[in-house]
Amino acid sequence: MLENLIGRNHIGTNSKVGLGPTRRPVIGLALGGGAARGFAHIGIMRTLLAHGINPDIIVGTSMGAVVGGTFASGHLDTLEEWARGLQPRNILGYLDIKLNGSGLIGGDKLAAQLEASLGQVAIEDLQLRFASVATEVRTGHEIWLTRGRLVDAIRASFALPGIFSPFLVGDRWLVDGALVNPVPVSAARALGAEIVIAANLSSDVFGHATTIFAHGTDTDTPATIDDVAPPKRGGIGKFFSPERTMKREFFGGGGRPGISTVMIDAFNIMQDRITRARLAGDPPDLLISPRVAQIGWFDFHRAAETIAHGARAAERAIESIQEAIEILSPGATTESAQPTVTDNATSEVQD
């Protein structure tokens, strides 16, 4: 990867006209999605800033848009304080369940929390370039939200299909950007980044999945797993049986996965495959991959742990990032910056 950067610097040095010998390359961050795992981005941001690495461009998908947008607007401290204070009980208070809509959760309560922090700030008024990535429902178009209310752009990007209702921006109904671009490296480059640092939160969720090419039902094994019937209840308890049945269907039981488990696992699998394909086609210059597979999608109450994972992964990448910045800075030479990675196109660091 660093050899490629050296070659890029050699070709492009003379094109940096009138910017002075001390100009550093434009740094872009591509922050991937992952629901509660997205709090790892806070740790990554903190570590980069502590080492003097300040991004000029931030592009986020889903929770990457939440963390990236709050940082771009100067409210990362507020987000971190809120995240660290979350507990399982108060998380439920942000879930406005809507069984008659196009998603299980309306998202209005979460949007109100964001709006209380971010206000009416517009993307075009931010001090750095920012974009959130969303997906148009009817067409599958990848939408880069680069203007308008920041809260709306963030809300559209994290609208996980089936969980959150789609969000209308302009004349387009938008859902989670991870459907098309889970780690938006391409968008960061298009906005002008010369070095792209990407954060992928799904690298260790499945590992290297394979193909099971010989599988079927054994003759002495039942074809299905029946749910365990709930005990019969008399008196007033019988009135709560529909609620118990609904919970059993939603969360699963008797060895059978529930609706929520199937939806989340399906989205995890899809996001993992799309991420691998897109990063192979357009790899970042440096890839940070926190090991957060053990953090569930809705484990928002584990923010402190998740932030620490992100910080550790970023800390291990600092030396490579600093070397990459030095290579692409005007005045850098191939003699003063020797490559330390020769086989891979991308330097990947995990915690």
> Distance (Å, rounded) from C-alpha 351 to C-alpha 349?
7
Angle between helices 303-328 and 2-12 (to 10 degrees): 50
> Distance (Å, rounded) from C-alpha 312 to C-alpha 288?
10
Length of the chain, in residues? 351
Active site residues: 62, 176
